[in-house]
Amino acid sequence: MAKTEYIPDDDDLYRRIPPDWYVEKEDRVSSAAFKDRETSVEWSKYCTPDKTVREYPNYHVAALQAKIPRTKNLEVKHNPSRHSYAHSLIIGEKPLSIARFLAQNCRFVLKSV
């Protein structure tokens, strides 16, 4: 089992955004990107936006600072997998209002062409 670390508040979490979760006419991320109880992200300390989507050519990457979900009492946890040491989770119930808040507070760091 890989060693886990604390993710500092100012570090970015990268979320893959498939075409279905990109609201093109408003150039924003859909709240659907953050609805899962355990939302999978990549920690910027050990990953780049390009690596985040290396196997997903039509996906975008949005970044969210770790402190943002914590303001809503969500847990941000480093959770390395055998495929990615950067793998992390945003854990907690995310009703529409919280999923929308997370989507509104992230920013694109990579857009597919």
For 1-20, the pLDDT digits (tens) are: 679 999 999 999 999 999 99
**Which CATH number fits the domain that encloses residue 73?**
3.20.170
SS3 25: helix
Provide the number of structural domains found in the chain: 1
Positions of E strands within the chain: 12-17, 22-23, 28-29, 38-43, 60-65, 75-78, 87-91, 107-110
- In a domain? residue 1: no
- The domain of 48 spans 12-110
Report how far residue 86's alpha carbon sits from residue 27's, in angstroms, rounded to the nearest whole number: 27
According to DSSP, the β-strands at 22-23 and 28-29 are antiparallel
What pTM did the predictor assign? 0.95
- In a domain? residue 98: yes
**What pLDDT, in 10s, does the model give residues 63-101?**
999 999 999 999 999 999 999 999 999 999 999 999 999
Tell me which residue of 89, 95, 74 sits closest to 39, measured CA to CA: 89
